[in-house]
Amino acid sequence: MNYPAAVARLTKLLGIRTPLIVPPMAGVSGGALAAQVTNGGGLGFLAHVHMSELPLARSLLESKVTESDTLPIGVGYLAWMLDKLPAKEAESVLNTALASNVQAHWFAFGNDLGRWIRYVRENAPQGKKTPLIFVLINSVEEAVRAVEDFKADVIVAQGIESGGHGGDYAPPLSELLQTVLDRFAGSSQLPIIVAAGGLANGADIASQIARGASGAVLGTRFLLTPESKYTDAQRQALIAARSEDAVRTMAFDYARGTTDWPKGVDGRGLRNDTVSDFEKGVNLEVLQAKFKEGIQRQDQSRFLVWAGTGVGSMNRIVPAKDLVQELHLKMLEHLKDTA
């Protein structure tokens, strides 16, 4: 079947077969996950903290790419981490991705995204395809900045349902997507928007497309792949979890000492004793000590498992490439039903 026009814009821009993107996930998405998603026909991102795995990603890609070709994966940056580094060090992170000719750069969660986006554009290798810029947004105001100020190629509209970090002020995904679409309706700058947050299966992807998205971003679903960096115990916790177990909290950031996120950002993960102790106001040192010990023992009642609200219907571990293909076929079935 032919894709709707909005989807075709994305698949053409990225040269992908299916409008499915697996986001950069710090601690989770390294070279193997990014490469296998791309091998399946979507676009895989590697989180910048796993940048040393770019050569691994290159070696796993089935369509062989030479050093001078565009590498068909993306790299995503937690911009607040770049903000914290001395300028030269932050630039060297970006330079590593630029030197590998990655296809796309994804920016999220920083106070000065424009600075880093400008750096990527100004330092992109000469004579190559211009790298594409993805910007994650949690509100219509952020979408306007991403389009008008940053000239983003793709906007990632991340709703409140999403796993991992996000703005605690984000509306539900369907509402966010609709307000962004309405804001740009009829505009000459109609952005390419992909939908993120709580999506679990092919029907979910099709429904975002039916609502006007150009594609979908699935993070939590890809934690349940052999290629993700989650441990077996974390995967088992995901399989056992219900949707309502995935709660927004800063408990894990306090427990592990990562509290430099921009204002209004928290994370959605599986509720356990770390969260309830945090809510009860348990002493921070005690919380941190129990958390550390919990990780060593792989104790579900203490460790950290990020998860979106779609987790309740996820119960199988599937290799990433197969999962992309499975989601693609299910999405097509549902798109046909709604056509």
Ligand X SMILES: Cc1cc2nc3c(=O)[nH]c(=O)nc-3n(C[C@H](O)[C@H](O)[C@H](O)COP(=O)(O)O)c2cc1C
Q: Residues interacting with ligand X, by CB under 6 A?
A: 23-26, 28, 47, 76, 78, 108, 136, 158, 161-165, 196-199, 217-220, 306, 308, 310
What CA–CA distance (Å, rounded) separates 14 from 56?
21
- Where does residue 174 rank: exposed (0-12), middle (13-18), buried (19+ CB within 10 A)? middle
SS (HEC) of 81-150: HHHHCCHHHHHHHHHHHHHCCEEEEEEECCCCHHHHHHHHHHHCCCCCCCCEEEEEECCHHHHHHHHHHC
- Residue 103 CA, chain-centre distance (Å), reads 16
Q: Which is nearer to ligand X, 94 or 127 (CB)?
A: 94
Minimum distance from residue 253 beta carbon to ligand X (Å) = 12
In angstroms, give the least distance from the CB of 14 to ligand X: 16
How far is residue 26's CA from residue 148's CA, in Å, rounded to a whole number?
28
Least Å distance, CB 238 to ligand X, is: 10
Query: CB-wise, 327 or 335, nearer to ligand X?
Result: 327
For ligand X, which is the closer residue by CB, 131 or 310?
310
Nearest distance in Å: CB 8, ligand X: 23
Query: Considering beta carbons, is residue 164 or 202 the nearer one to ligand X?
Result: 164
User: Shortest Cβ distance from residue 319 to ligand X (Å)?
Assistant: 18
Residue type at position 317: I
Closest CB to ligand X among residues 60, 81: 81
In angstroms, what is the minimal distance from the CB of 5 to ligand X?
24
The torsion angles phi and psi of 269, rounded to 5 degrees, stand at -145, 175
Q: For residue 317, what is the DSSP state?
A: -
Q: Rounded to whole angstroms, how far apart are CA atoms 200 and 172? A: 15
SS3 track for 188-243:
CCCCEEEEECCCCCHHHHHHHHHCCCCEEECCHHHHCCCCCCCCHHHHHHHHHCCH
Nearer to ligand X, 220 or 325 (CB): 220
